[in-house]
């Protein structure tokens, strides 16, 4: 597992993933830790109620109303408030349902004209320069602008927004995969970023309660279900934290990984430039071939068996999405990048009750970005070696030098 953080593996983890999968599709590394690399086994795990997350820790004894630690919001039972991504039903069902009422498909589709405008401006500037780092020119600023505008964040604050997101995203890597000194170096900046983010949005949410605007934050502040249930302040703040990282980092990686895969397979990029109807296939193949989220973790909630391997309650299981997506039992010729591949089932957005709520927005942003690139820069080429970001859970590029002819 330590090999996953090496620069060589970070540049191309898929040969190692293949070796792991061939060794054991479900590998029980210790009595309480397993690694899942097979597509069928990963799909079963993610869709099963036998796997989930530990219950939130109760940290307040007595009256939760007396607890006022901004770093650890608590619910009415005195438990640490967590984003619904890290909860089991029925808590997950309740929170996700409330957020989905505010962050629905109609809201996402309404962003199309603005995303097209942002993409056109970014690509136009890059074309004028002739060469660019496509990450800093397009893949990073686009999702930041979109999620910032959705939440009503002022333009002047967006650089801080992006810095918070990057710091918190690095902390998503499981500590078991990192050398202790690396994990410690990541934890401090991530905690500081989260503290600053929560303080910022605590004030902005209060302003939206006084003066609602036409933005997602205002909708989240006021959203309620049929019984009048609403998000508590703690639930609102952790939800916003999740939306920032999920809405920024993963979409940035999807755009960068997609462009790199296309440029490394110029026949596929040429095909897309000639036929824009291939764009949806290009996005889905990127998600399968080089997914922005490489792994996810679950806890075994009850004694169970997966892929013939007995797993005890309380054990941890890591699903290597990048390995499962290239399982030859699920995809013929899985190491070939083919934007016409059909069918194309993958686990890039998860599976089951935790399927990514932001998938429609990520797909929309990537679709517009890659389509516009192919349309306006049909002879786009690499201008040097790309540089990969130093993360394991999220896979993406730090830089992508290109020439725009």
pLDDT value at residue 258? 98
The Cα–Cα gap between 161 and 153 comes to 9
* DSSP-derived secondary structure for 116-137: HHHHHHHHHHHHHHSEEEHIII
Give whichever of 179-188, 247-256, 265-274 has the largest mean pLDDT. 265-274
pLDDT tens per residue, range 378-392:
999 999 999 999 888
pLDDT value at residue 228? 82
By DSSP bridging, strand 316-320 and strand 33-36 are: parallel
Contacts of 311 (CB under 8 A, 6+ apart): 28, 34, 300, 303, 304, 305, 317
Q: What 3-state DSSP class applies to 266?
A: helix
pLDDT tens per residue, range 118-168:
999 999 999 999 999 999 999 999 999 999 899 888 888 888 888 888 888
Mean pLDDT over all residues of the chain? Answer: 90
Percentage, residues of the chain above pLDDT 90 = 64
Asked if residue 109 has pLDDT above 70, the reply is yes
Q: Please classify residue 26 by burial: count the beta carbons closer than 10 Å to its beta carbon, then call 0-12 exposed, 13-18 middle and 19+ buried.
A: buried
pLDDT value at residue 2? 59
Asked if residue 13 has pLDDT above 80, the reply is yes
By DSSP bridging, strand 51-52 and strand 295-300 are: antiparallel
Q: Long-range contacts: 367-370, Cβ < 8 Å, 24+?
A: 367/279, 367/280, 367/283, 368/112, 368/115, 368/116, 368/119, 369/119, 369/138, 369/139, 369/142, 369/255, 370/255, 370/258, 370/259, 370/262, 370/272, 370/279, 370/282, 370/283
Mean pLDDT value across residues 231-235: 87
> pLDDT band for position 60 (50/70/90)?
low
Nearest to 303 by CA among 311, 292, 295: 311
pLDDT value at residue 185? 83
pLDDT tens per residue, range 75-84:
666 677 888 8
Percentages (nearest 5) of helix, strand, coil residues in the chain: 55, 10, 35
Q: Which residue has the tokens 């994990």?
A: 183
pLDDT tens per residue, range 347-382:
999 999 999 999 999 999 999 999 999 999 999 999
> pLDDT band for position 53 (50/70/90)?
very high
pLDDT tens per residue, range 166-188:
888 888 887 777 777 777 888 88
> pLDDT band for position 345 (50/70/90)?
very high
- Domains of the chain with bracketed CATH: 49-303+336-403 (1.10.630.10)
């Amino acid at each position: 597992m330590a090999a996953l953080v090496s620069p060589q593996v970070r540049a191309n983890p898929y040969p190692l993933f293949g070796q792991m999968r061939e060794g054991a599709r479900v590998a029980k590394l210790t009595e309480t830790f397993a690694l899942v690399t097979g597509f069928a086994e990963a799909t079963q795990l993610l869709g099963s109620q036998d796997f989930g997350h530990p219950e939130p820790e109760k940290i307040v004894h007595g009256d939760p109303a007396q607890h006022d630690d901004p770093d650890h919001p608590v619910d009415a039972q005195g438990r640490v408030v967590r984003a619904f991504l890290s909860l089991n039903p029925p808590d997950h069902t309740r929170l996700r349902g409330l957020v989905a009422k505010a962050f629905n498909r109609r809201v996402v589709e309404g962003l199309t004209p603005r995303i097209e405008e942002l993409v056109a401006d970014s690509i136009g500037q890059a074309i004028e320069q002739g060469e660019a780092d496509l990450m800093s020119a397009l893949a990073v600023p686009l999702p930041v602008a979109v999620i910032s505008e959705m939440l009503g964040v002022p333009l002047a604050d967006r650089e801080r927004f992006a810095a918070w997101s990057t710091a918190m995203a690095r902390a998503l890597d499981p500590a078991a995969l990192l050398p202790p000194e690396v994990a410690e170096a990541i934890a401090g900046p991530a905690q500081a970023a989260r503290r600053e983010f929560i303080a910022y949005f605590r004030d902005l949410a209060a302003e939206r309660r006084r003066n609602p605007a036409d933005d997602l934050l205002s909708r989240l502040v006021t959203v309620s279900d049929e019984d009048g249930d609403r998000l508590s302040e703690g639930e609102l703040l952790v939800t916003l934290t999740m939306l920032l990282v999920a809405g920024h980092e993963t979409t940035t990686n999807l755009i960068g990984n997609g462009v790199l895969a296309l440029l490394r397979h110029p026949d596929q990029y040429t095909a897309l430039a000639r036929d824009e109807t291939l764009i949806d296939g290009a996005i889905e193949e990127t998600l399968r071939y080089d997914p922005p989220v490489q792994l996810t973790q679950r806890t075994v909630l009850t004694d169970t068996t997966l892929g013939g391997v007995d797993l005890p309650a309380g054990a941890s299981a890591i699903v290597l999405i990048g390995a499962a997506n290239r399982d030859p039992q699920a995809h013929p010729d899985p190491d070939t990048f083919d934007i016409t591949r059909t069918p194309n089932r993958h686990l890039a957005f998860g599976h089951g009750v935790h399927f990514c709520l932001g998938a429609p927005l990520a797909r929309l942003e990537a679709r517009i970005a890659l389509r516009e690139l192919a349309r306006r820069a049909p002879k786009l080429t690499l201008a040097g070696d790309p540089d990969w970001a130093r993360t394991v859970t999220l896979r993406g590029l730090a830089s992508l030098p290109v020439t725009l002819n």
